[in-house]
Structure 1
Amino acid sequence: MIIEEIVTNINDLSPDERNKRHLEKVHLESADLMKRIQRVETDHGRDLGIRLKNPHDLEAGDVLYMDDQNIIMVEVKRDDLLIIRPRNMYEMGTIAHQLGNRHLPAQFEGEEMLVQYDYLVEELLVELDIPFIREDRKVKQAFRHIGHSHGS
């Protein structure tokens, strides 16, 4: 089966719509969410080809296929993350500036900044005395690097 577009997101379906169908999941690494073309396998052993027509990153819960009996959706595997919890705007500005200089992508959930684990960032957080924890957590979207150069 070739998937060319996202049907919907599981969170946009009513509980009745979800519960009346058999659910299969495609488990992806967060980095794979950015791939438009890939071959995957569901947790029930079904092979799928993903070839998205539109340039769109996959997200947790995206429904790749749905009929009257089945749903195949994206489930994101856990990432090794640093969960940064600045206490104030100064700490937030300091760590955001430092991470920006390293071109590290970050995500935000509530009051937390999430970055993929890096021992140098961990050392920096300890040095700057900015609160953080290291945790395996599922993210909803891919960590996307923003491409640019410092030249003119």
Structure 2
Amino acid sequence: MIIEKVIGNIKQAAQRPAHIERVYLRSDDLVKKIQRVQTDHGKELGIRLKNGKELMDGDILYQDDKNSIIISVIEDDVLVIRPTSLQQMGDIAHQLGNRHLPAQFEAEEMIVQYDYLVEELLQELNIPFAREKRKMNHAFKHIGHSHD
């Protein structure tokens, strides 16, 4: 079966389907427009998205009267940074920006993929953080940049 569009998202669905098959993806697979995947029931699917939409946790790839196939994102190993001041936020944002490290922001948190060097830097700068397993809604994306 080839999937060319996302039908909706289970989080906004009026009712839950009777039977759900899941496709487990890492967050960095959410941006891939073409990929071959397998459901937790062993069904092979091809995903070829045409509309430029990125996949998200809970996206419905297929649905009929009895069955739905839904994306489930695998938790990432991340550092959740919780600066206590604008100064701390500026310091760590500058440091991570120099390393071209992609980050995501949720409420008062800055989230980056786990890296032991970043963990050491946060400890050295005395910036509060926690290492967590977290389901990310979007992939960590590098922004194109060069030092020409």
TM-score by length of 2: 0.95
Aligned to 1:28: 25
Note if 1:85 corresponds to 2:82. Answer: yes
Aligned to 1:13: 13
CA RMSD of aligned residues (A): 1.1
Note if 1:134 corresponds to 2:142. Answer: no
Percent of paired sites with the same residue: 64
**How far, CA to CA, are the matches of 1:67 and 1:90 in structure 2?**
53
Residue type matched to 1:31 in 2?
A: D
Note if 1:119 corresponds to 2:116. Answer: yes
TM-score by length of 1: 0.92
Q: Give SS of 1:147's match.
A: coil
Contact 1:103 1:145 in 2 (8 A): yes
* Residue 149 (structure 1) shift: 2.0
Unmatched 5+ residue regions in structure 1? none
53, 71, 74: which one pairs with 1:74? 71
Unmatched 5+ residue regions in structure 2? none
Structure 1's consecutive aligned runs of 4 or more residues displaced over 6 angstroms after TM superposition are none
Higher relative helix content? 1
